[in-house]
């Protein structure tokens, strides 16, 4: 008998019937675990809420795979047992996150927040606005989300430059970052949060951006030094669209809320209808690969 564990009943329903000889437990790594937890070999982490603790994962001494349905894994790394394979949800949220990145770009460039404010005042106030046409967009992160963003802005006649940790065909190395920043009107962050990307966007990074440039963060809040960003926004020199912040949730009295030229959404990049089915289709496929002894996809190294 092989044993897997899913975070809730809805997840079990979406995964559907598995091959004979597979036992499914339901536990989200909080509270008392169900009987048989010590036999779990494949555990699926919950999407919303705090990650599992090291103590919770230690209750599964036979654990071989920790599967997440989020693209980000950084919050789970401290508790990951040695020797356990970690897989993420790459592809589950890629389209919706790229969609939000482009929506945020357009909202800021076309001054949609100003139009909303004028509408609330019943004021008909046409304003000159910017757009994506002809813009040079630097996308830091050449994975699923970054490539989808590049594809999405192409019909607007925007020119994209992809950048990643190492150079490859069509992708620049991050070493060229400070040479590239002044050449682009829009800079998009689509990287995971790692020690290398922690506060990648610091005062020096922001100072290298051209006047009037737009920073888009749909990655993780801690990729940006928030204090440095607030200071630069206060100078009224650059603009920003942020779906993630540091800290998060953003406290009600944080100065970022009232900074000029910033649009903030509350980390909703992947939260569109249908994500659950995409996520648990991936989970089912991963479980079946695991049971057959086949290589898993989305392995985080």
Quick: pLDDT tens for 219-267: 999 999 999 999 999 999 999 999 999 999 999 999 999 999 999 999 9
Adjacent-strand bridge partners of 241: 216, 263
User: Minimal CA–CA distance to 217: which of 260, 248, 196, 183?
Assistant: 248
pLDDT value at residue 109: 97
Distance CA 3, CA 282 (A): 18
Q: Pick the catalytic residue from 220, 232, 239, 278.
A: 220
Distance CA 105, CA 195 (A): 27
DSSP characters over 139-156: EE--SHHHHHHHHHHGGG
CATH architecture type of domain 94-264:
3-Layer(aba) Sandwich (3.40)
**Model pLDDT for residues 141-198, shown as the tens digit of each residue:** 999 999 999 999 999 999 999 999 999 999 999 999 999 999 999 999 999 998 999 9
Distance CA 119, CA 98 (A): 28
Question: Which H or E run contains 86?
Answer: strand 85-87
Residue with tokens 């790594």: 29
pTM of the model: 0.88
pLDDT value at residue 75: 87
Q: pLDDT band for 274, please (50, 70, 90 cuts).
A: confident
Q: pLDDT band for 272, please (50, 70, 90 cuts).
A: confident
**Sequence spans of domains, the chain:** 2-92+273-292, 94-264
pLDDT at 271 over 80: no
Q: How many residues does the chain have?
A: 301
Distance CA 150, CA 172 (A): 14
CATH code of the region 2-92+273-292? 3.40.50.720
Q: Categorise residue 212: left if φ over 0, alpha if ψ from -120 to 50, beta otherwise.
A: left
pLDDT at 35 over 90: yes
pLDDT value at residue 237: 95
pLDDT at 48 over 90: no
pLDDT value at residue 280: 93
Distance CA 74, CA 57 (A): 16
User: Minimal CA–CA distance to 214: which of 117, 127, 106, 83?
Assistant: 106
What are the structure tokens assigned to 135, written together? 């813009």
Q: Pick the catalytic residue from 136, 267, 284, 289.
A: 267
Q: Pick the catalytic residue from 248, 254, 284, 289.
A: 248
Task: Give the chain's mean pLDDT.
Answer: 95
248 is catalytic: yes
What are the structure tokens assigned to 270, written together? 């992947």
pLDDT value at residue 84: 98
Q: pLDDT band for 273, please (50, 70, 90 cuts).
A: confident
List, in sequence order, every beta strand (DSSP E) within 190-273: 214-217, 239-242, 262-264
Q: pLDDT band for 284, please (50, 70, 90 cuts).
A: very high
């Amino acid at each position: 008998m092989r044993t897997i564990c899913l975070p809730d009943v809805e997840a079990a329903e979406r995964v559907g019937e598995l091959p004979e000889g597979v036992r499914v437990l339901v536990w989200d790594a909080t509270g008392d675990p169900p009987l048989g937890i010590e036999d779990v070999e494949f555990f699926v982490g919950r999407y919303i809420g705090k990650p599992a603790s090291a103590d919770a994962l230690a209750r599964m001494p036979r654990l071989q795979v920790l599967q997440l349905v989020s693209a980000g894994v950084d919050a789970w790394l401290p508790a990951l047992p040695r020797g356990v394979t970690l897989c993420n949800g790459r592809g589950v949220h890629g389209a919706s996150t790229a969609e939000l990145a482009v929506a945020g770009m357009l909202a800021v460039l076309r001054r949609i927040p100003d139009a909303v404010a004028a509408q609330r005042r019943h004021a008909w106030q046409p304003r000159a606005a910017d757009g994506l046409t002809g813009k040079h967009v630097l996308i830091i992160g050449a994975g699923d989300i970054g490539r989808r963003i590049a594809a999405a802005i192409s019909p607007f006649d925007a020119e994209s430059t992809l950048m990643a940790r190492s150079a490859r065909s069509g992708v620049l190395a991050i070493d060229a970052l400070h040479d590239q920043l002044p050449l682009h009107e829009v800079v998009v962050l689509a990287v995971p949060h790692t020690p290398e990307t922690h506060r990648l966007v610091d005062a020096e990074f922001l100072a290298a951006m051209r006047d009037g440039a737009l920073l888009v963060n749909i990655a993780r809040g801690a990729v940006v030094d928030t204090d440095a960003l607030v200071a630069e926004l206060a100078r009224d020199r650059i603009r920003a669209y942020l779906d993630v912040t540091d800290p998060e949730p953003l406290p009600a009295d944080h100065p970022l809320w009232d900074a000029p030229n910033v649009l903030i959404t509350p980390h909703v990049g992947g939260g569109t209808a249908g994500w659950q089915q995409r996520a648990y289709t991936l989970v089912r496929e991963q479980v079946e690969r695991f049971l057959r002894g086949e290589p898993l996809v989305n392995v985080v190294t």
